[in-house]
Amino acid sequence: MDFSVLQLTAEQEQFAKEVQAFLDDIVTDEVHERELETGDGFSATVHLALGERGWLYPTWPVEHGGAGLDAVSARILDLELHRRQVPDITAGTTALVWSAVERYLDSAEVDTMRLDVARGHVRFCLGYTEPDGGSDIAAAKVRAVRDGDEWVLNGSKIFTTGAQSCQYTFLITRTDPTLPKHKGMTMFLVPLDAPGVEIQGIRAFSGERTNIVYYSDARISDKFRLGAVNAGWAVLHGPLDAEHSIGGEESGLDDISVGRSFLRVLERALDAAVDWTAAAVRPDGTKVADDRSALQRIGRVATDLEAGIRTPGPLGRVAGSEALVRGSADLVDLVGIEALVSLGDRAGSELGAVEYGHRFAQGTATYGGTVEVFRNIISQHVLGLPQMNYPGRKVFLAPGRSDAMAAAR
């Protein structure tokens, strides 16, 4: 691994200045205040402004609506967006879905849609989880029944984050309940303005908005089917594996840890707590900064933070969540009642980042796939341990041992 410092070219340095000036103009206090109020994870103003410059998907070719940026310039843009805390959930889910849309949707539809996606006018959300399905996406029960050149959808999905800001959902449905659960599913790109589709917002403890989406005899054209009928699991796996950091290309410029987004929340909370520690004086006149136990607690959070940032792939997803859960609780306990000031209280201090971090931490064991799902991914794809034996399978075997075990019987 190359740890040398990357030297920017004159063009890349100029690009960094251009990005900073542009974001100074569009990422306003109003953008952040609206995000605190709505929890949408999306700013139409910022999203469309980035799209006009080709900066939503900046490495796409210019003719496809991107900016044709080199990898270093794209990383400069990405880091600046994170530093400004630009709401980006919808941009992320759209990027995940686009690879499947480009591969499986009719090429004429793709050509029509591509520029609108790049410009930010068309956005996608993920229609995976169901109210009684938990993390088992393959247990989908939303029914899709064919009626001529249309499909009729019935059922509901939960945790469809960003649906209120999107035009389509990437929906996994049950099309043949007589087949094994991984084989009787079909994927669709469902227009969210179709009659019979209803979006109902719900709030996470952190204040973020997610949604339940109901499908009541919703009719869509067969042109929105992605892949073959009953082959939805194969279509789903591209975006799902990308979200779970399985396979795919790695870049030396990318974040090492899948849990990096959680750890940015911990970074801000830690910075606020460090500033408080440096300035706070206790009722007896002693400085918190002179208390070795307080410094030890700050150091432990900082160490967990750095460990999470440096933990690769799916392991980093678990490490990131655990570091935030432990660290945010420790910081609240250290700071005390001042750590209960809401981030949305403009009269409050920056310690609102500590309070928000603690609330946000509670959902990170679930976001983007539960930590239990990621532990299974780690066991199978990283450690090479035997796969779980589910009902209906005859043996519990490590890969490659089936023939030998069968012969032993």
- pLDDT one-digit tens code per residue, 317-331: 999 999 999 999 999
Q: Which of 69, 79, 27, 16 is nearest to 260 (CA)?
A: 79
- Contact between 195 and 185 under an 8 Å Cβ cutoff? The reply is no
How many residues are present in the chain? 409
Q: Do domains 124-244 and 260-361 have the same CATH topology?
A: no
Say whether 26 sits in a helix, a strand or coil. Answer: helix
DSSP 56-113: SSTTS-GGGTS----HHHHHHHHHHHHHTT--BHHHHHHHHHHHHHHHHS-HHHHHHH
Question: What is the enclosing helix (H) or strand (E) of 320?
Answer: helix 313-335
Q: Which helix (H) or strand (E) is 155 found in, with range?
A: strand 150-158
Give the per-residue pLDDT at 2.
61
Angstrom distance (rounded) from CA 128 to CA 365: 17
Per-residue pLDDT at 242 = 59
Whole-number Å distance between alpha carbons of 193 and 175: 22
> Residue written as tokens 């044709």?
68
| Model pLDDT, residue 342 | 73
Q: Are strands 185-191 and 168-174 parallel, antiparallel or unpaired?
A: antiparallel
CA distances from 328 to 87, 335, 336 (A): 21, 11, 12
pLDDT (0 to 100) of residue 394: 38
How would you label 13-46 residue by residue, b for 16+ Cβ within 10 Å and e otherwise? eebbeebeebbeebbeeebbebbeebbbbbbeeb
**pLDDT tens across 246-299, in order?**
555 556 788 888 889 889 999 999 999 999 999 999 999 999 999 999 999 999
pLDDT of 407 reads: 37
Q: Which residue has the tokens 């999203």?
A: 47
Angstrom distance (rounded) from CA 149 to CA 232: 18
Top-level class of domain 124-244: mainly beta
Domain layout of the chain by residue ranges: 10-87, 124-244, 260-361
Return the number of other C-beta atoms located less than 10 Å from residue 59's C-beta: 14
Residues above pLDDT 70, as percent of the chain: 89
| CATH no. of 260-361 | 1.20.140.10
Instruction: Look at residue 386 and give its three-state secondary structure.
Output: coil
- Cα separation, 379 vs 314, whole angstroms: 10
As a whole number of angstroms, the distance between CA 336 and CA 350 comes to: 14
Pairing verdict, β 150-158 and 124-127? unpaired
Query: Within 10 A of 146 (CB to CB), how many other CB atoms are there?
Result: 13
State residue 406's pLDDT score: 35
CA atoms within 13 A on the CB side of 69: 22
Amino acid identity, residue 213?
V
CB count within 10 Å of CB 337 equals 7
Low-confidence ranges of the chain (pLDDT < 70): 1-3, 240-251, 343-349, 388-409
Note the pTM of the prediction, 2 decimals: 0.85
DSSP state of 138: G
Q: What is the DSSP letter of 133?
A: T
* Residue in 194, 231, 281, 242 with CA at minimum distance from that of residue 97: 242
Tell me, what's the pLDDT at 178?
Answer: 94
